[in-house]
Structures are given as C-alpha cells and as structure tokens.
Copies of this chain bind each other. A is one copy, B any other.
Amino acid sequence: MTALASSNDAPVAVICGGGTLPAEVVEAARATGREVLAIAIKGEAAAALERFEPISLGWGQIGKLFDTMKKAGCHDVVLIGGVTRRPDFRSVAGDLGTLRRLPRIIAALTGGDDSLLVKVIGIFEDEGFRVIGAHEIAPSLLAGPGAIVGPEPAGEAVADMQLARQAVEALGRLDIGQAAVALGGRVIAVEGAEGTDAMLERCAELRRIGRVNAKGRIGVLVKRAKPGQDLRADLPTIGPKTIEAAAQAGLAGIALEAGRVFIAERDATLAAARDKGLFLHGFKGELDGA
C-alpha cells in the first residue's frame, strides 16, 4: 500500500522524441512538484530539451535505458515527441540488454505504424514499468473548457462547430481521424491519415479554387481524441502551426475537446490565435450524451 501511494513521489521517466512538446512536458511536470528523469532519444530530441539536462540514449542502449530508470527508482514512464527515423536493426543491436530483448523489439518494429507505440508500451510493461500519458503529469498543457481565446463562438460558428463535432465523433467511433472542418452549414473536410495540418491546407485550397464558396472568416476546425483512444500513444495536439493553417483556411475558430487535447507552445499558440482573430474554444464530452 505504501508502494502504491508513493508512486507519485517517485520520479517519472520522460522519454523524449522530437519537437517542442517533450521539453514542455518535462517543465510542466516539474512545475507540479513531480521529480522527472528526462531521457533524450539520440538524434530525435530537440535542443530545447538540453536545459533540463537529460540522459541521452541511442536505439542500441535499451538495456542501459531500463537499468537507468530502475536505478532512479522510476515506476512510471511517459513517451512523448515524434520519432522520424525508424531505427534499423543494426543500430538497435547494441548493448546486452538490448540484445536480450531483441526478438520482442524486432516484433514491435516490424508491425504496422499504428501499433508500434502500443507494442513499445507492452515492452515497457513487461519490464515492470507503468506507461502513463503525458497529460497525466502535465495537465496544464491541456485545453480547458470554455473560451480559451475569445470571443465565444456564436451564430453560424456554433452550427458549424456542432456539425464538425458530429463528423469527428462518427469518425472517431470508426477509429479514423481526430479532426474535421465544417463551413457554412456543411462538413467540407475530414481528417484521415494525412493529419490535421494537411487537412487544413486542403480547406485553404478548396476556398482558393472556389470549390467551397465562402467570404470572410467562416468555418470551424474541431479536434478531439477518438473515444477509447490510448492517449499514452497518441495525444491530439495543436500548436502555432495549427493556428497558422486554420487562418490560411480562413476559418473563424477552433474547438478542442477539453481535457484530451494538448496545446503545444501555449503562449505562442494563444498569441497567434489572438493575432489572427481566431477563437479557441474547449468543449466537453460527446454531443449525444456521455
């Protein structure tokens, strides 16, 4: 019982891939008083992470990774940030601890893209660690409910928001995308494997070529997690690029699921939304109950 209760006092290991989010997570987690063991994936982690003095480990040092985490007394692990270069087997075949786990690692690396992180989570769990979501240690990065950047959506924007929410919820139940755009009373774009930024570029193009008839700032991007989505492996996130792409698409604003979407680089993101005149709004739960 003491062991369980002390879980939040033990340091959490944050294994950091690329992008700005890992440093933000480490900082936000430390700000809550939690001790953090920052581990940078060599060749992936961004320079911004360096001020948190991470331990830097390559793909061939998985044995050392587990030893380091165990010595530090870590029980909880967070995986955060992008991995652009899928390691090849030669770089993985490193230290003894890596070699011992190689069959399992190879099995994970040779699966489809989608299941890779889920398999990686399984490897950590087999070692006795508990993989948790970044939002659990850094809740301050999450979108909250209500107006984040005002004004509150009104009139046509409310109708478009409801339409896009319906679309994303229907898609989410089929495990498809996390985002959709409605404009002028119809859903014009739905996210598949291309990601939110590419979908927003498509919306800008649809307006440019006149395939969507719209004047002025109109239309709403909705982004939410899929129902049952494993937020430890894939946490929906927006950032300054999302604002820029939404502004390029001429949208009136962005609505996010409160408590399940990260706002990266919050200061820059909120400033960009204000600057471009876009509202940012947090909503709770599903439209039809829940």
Contacts and interface: CB of A to CB of B under 8 A. Distances in A.
A211 interface: yes
Contact of A174 (B166, B173, B181): B166
Secondary structure type dominating chain A contacts: mixed
Contacts of A177: 190
A123 interface: no
Interface string A158-189: 00000100110011011111001100111111
B193 A192 contact: no
A148 interface: no
Contacts of A267: none
B211 A193 contact: yes
Contacts of A202: 192, 194, 198, 202
A106 interface: no
A231 to B, nearest CB: 19
Given A114-B186, A187-B176, A194 B211 contact: yes
Given A176-B187, A187-B176, A213-B112, A193 B206 contact: yes
Contacts of A181: 192
A53 interface: no
Contacts of A189: 192-194
Nearest to A175: B186
